Each structure stands twice: as structure tokens, then as C-alpha cells.
Amino acid sequence: MGAEPDKRMALKQWLRGRLTEGEPPKEEWRQLLEATWDYLLLTPVRDLVDAKTAKAAADELMNAELVTELSRPIVAAFAPVVIEELRGDERPLERFLPQDAQAKLQEAIARPGLVHPDWVRAMFRGEAAEAVLNDALYRALKDFSTLLPRLMVKVSPMGRLGVLGSAGAFAEKLIEELERRIEPEIKSFLADRSEQILERAAEFTIAKLDDPASIEFRANLVNFVLSKSPAFLVGAADDALLDDIGAVAELTARHVADMPDMRADVHAWIDRAIECAADMNLGEALHLQGIQARPPLDALAEATWPAFTALLGSPRAQHWMDTLLDELLDEYERIGDSEGPNGG
């Protein structure tokens, strides 16, 4: 005869309480996390990860529709909150870097060969760069072209006689005529040579990339960023920009998920990672073997305990535990019946 329904219900209620109520289950949860961490570090990687199932999971995660449906609410939920917090932070970023870290950063910035020449060439290429160059050179050449005729007149006999009377009027007309003729020549010069000038400027800059002045420029740029606050850096991030960034992220995620070569690359990465760690345990593979430092397991246990108890309290988890307990009791009674006086 099976266990009475009332007794079974009482056992199920006891099991739920035993797993979630009071301090003992909470302490056991902490001990479980600690023991799991230690055990996993000593477990061979080949026992934890299978290449075939890892690739199948990666393929499922790279589903374009799944990526889109997951990324959209995440971006919509978190981006505005994060930006709003940053907008209210007026403290400089340099507060995150102690003096010794800032000194190391300055050393890294001054390292020879840090800036690839192609970055410089890209900055000096294109219509925008040509427009800036043409405008700057046009103004400079025009100002010089105005100065040059006046200087020529000044040092000429006409200039030594003074600018009064007919000589002065003739000098002014001469200057105006020279300026009028020089201006189209300037425009023609820039139109024909702006690209060549930009190329020369780029190569000149590249040749000086590791000079003290260039290193100082890089340092000043980094120092400027560090001196500014998060509020300054996200000042232009209004709602419209956030919407655009969200759309870019969503479209990019879909595109990457649909790339055939990306799927093949992920499979290759999995194969290489597993092959590299084939004869290692997890601690060795993560370079944690022999390190005394440990994650804050006590704090993690405290932080995850509410989620763990909520999970066990869910209808599905309760049904699973009830079913498991029923099967255990049935098996226990079956064993008892088989070992009874009439058992085999």
C-alpha cells in the first residue's frame, strides 16, 4: 500500500521548507558554491565542455531573430538608465586612475610605434580634409597676397614718394588689380594641388609621430579626456541618438548572426580552445592554478540566495520536487515489498 496522501503532502512541504527556510539552507548554499568552485577548478576541461554541443549551442545563439528579440529590450531598458546616470556625474574620469596608473598610461602613450601610419593617412584623406585644408590655405594665401602688393608698392619709388595725390591713387588701383588677379590663381592652385598637399602633410606627420611634440599631443588628448566628466562625454547623447545607436546595434547583431563565415569562425575558435586545454583542468586553462585569491563566494552566496529560493518556489520547480519525492517513496516501498516475507 502506498504512503498515505497526507503523509506525502507533509513530506513535500517539509522538503520545500528544508531547502529554503531558515539559516541552515542558506549556509548550505554558501558551502555548495564554495565546494563547486573548488571542484570545477580541478575538473578536466574535456569533462566540462564538448565541442559538438558547444558548437550547437553557439549556432542557436547566433540565430538572427533570437539576437534581435533579445538585444532590443536590453538596449531599451538599460541604455537610457545608464546615460541618465552618466549625465548626472560631473566628476572627472581621472578619479578612477591613481597617480601611478596615470604615470604608466603616459609611458604607454609615449611608446614608439604606438600610432599606425594608416591612421594618420586616413585623417588626411577625403573631401572633409580637403575642404578644411583649402579653406585654411585660401585664407592664409589671400592674406599674404594682400600684404605682398602693398609691400611691393611701399618699397618702389612710387611708395617712397608717398601715397598722396595721383601717385597714391595709382598705387591703390595697382594693389586692387593685383589682388583681383591673384585670387583666382590661389583657387586654381589649391584645386590642382590640395590632394598632393594633404599627402605631403600626412607623410610629414608620420615622420614626426614619435617626436616629443607628437607625444605631447597624444598625452594632451588623453589628459583632456581624463579631465572631463561622464556628463561632458555623453552630453550629445539625447534620446534620438540613443534610438539610432539601438538601431545600429540591432542591425549589426542581425548582420553578424547571418554571416556564414562568422559561424565557421566560431566553430574554429571552439575547436582551438578545446584543443589547447585538452590535457588541462579548468584551473590550469584559466591560469588560476596555484593562485590563492578566490572569488568573494560568501558575498556571491548572499547575493544569489534570493534568486535561488525564488527558483525553488516556482510552480515548475515545486512540481519537479514533488514528482521526484513521489518516485522516491514509490521506489522505497517497492524495495520494501520485494524484501518482505513473500519477496524474492
Per-residue pLDDT of the chain (344 residues; tens, 9 = 90+): 455 778 899 999 999 999 999 999 999 999 999 999 999 999 999 999 999 999 999 999 888 888 888 877 877 788 888 888 999 999 999 999 999 999 999 999 999 999 999 999 998 888 888 888 878 887 777 777 766 666 666 655 555 545 545 555 666 676 677 777 777 877 777 777 778 888 888 898 899 999 999 999 999 999 999 999 999 999 888 888 888 888 888 888 888 888 889 989 999 999 999 999 989 999 999 888 777 778 899 999 999 999 999 999 999 999 999 999 999 999 988 887 776 555 55
pTM for the structure as a whole: 0.68
Strand partners, 281: 44
CB environment 229-246: b (16+ within 10 A), e (fewer)? bbebebeebeeeebeeeb
**198 exposure class (CB count in 10 Å sphere: 0-12, 13-18, 19+):** buried
Q: What is the DSSP string of 51-73?
A: HHHHHHHHHHHT-HHHHHHHHHH
Look at residue 264 in the predicted model and tell me its pLDDT.
92
CA pair distance 65, 250, nearest whole angstrom? 10
CA pair distance 227, 9, nearest whole angstrom? 65
**282 exposure class (CB count in 10 Å sphere: 0-12, 13-18, 19+):** buried
**Is there a contact between 256 and 58 (Cβ–Cβ < 8 Å)?**
no
Among candidate residues 64, 62, 71, 70, the one with its CA nearest the CA of residue 247: 71
Q: By three-state DSSP, how is residue 217 classified?
A: helix
Query: Residue 4 has what DSSP assignment?
Result: P
Among candidate residues 319, 341, 337, the one with its CA nearest the CA of residue 12: 319
**Is there a contact between 301 and 37 (Cβ–Cβ < 8 Å)?**
no
**Is there a contact between 226 and 48 (Cβ–Cβ < 8 Å)?**
no
**Is there a contact between 325 and 11 (Cβ–Cβ < 8 Å)?**
yes
What does the CA dihedral 209, 211, 213, 217 come to, rounded to 10 degrees? 40
Among candidate residues 196, 199, 194, the one with its CA nearest the CA of residue 141: 194
CA 104 to chain CA centroid, Å, is 22
Among candidate residues 319, 320, 336, 317, the one with its CA nearest the CA of residue 3: 336
Q: Which residue type does 15 have?
A: L
CA pair distance 64, 62, nearest whole angstrom? 6
Q: How far are the Cα atoms of 103, 207, 211, 212, 226 from residue 109, in angstroms, in the given order?
A: 10, 17, 12, 11, 14
Among candidate residues 321, 343, 341, 333, the one with its CA nearest the CA of residue 11: 321
Among candidate residues 260, 309, 120, the one with its CA nearest the CA of residue 202: 120
Look at residue 326 in the predicted model and tell me its pLDDT.
93
Residue 326 grid coordinates: 513521489
CA 338 to chain CA centroid, Å, is 64
Q: Which helix (H) or strand (E) holds 247?
A: helix 239-258
**Is there a contact between 33 and 41 (Cβ–Cβ < 8 Å)?**
no
**Is there a contact between 247 and 88 (Cβ–Cβ < 8 Å)?**
no
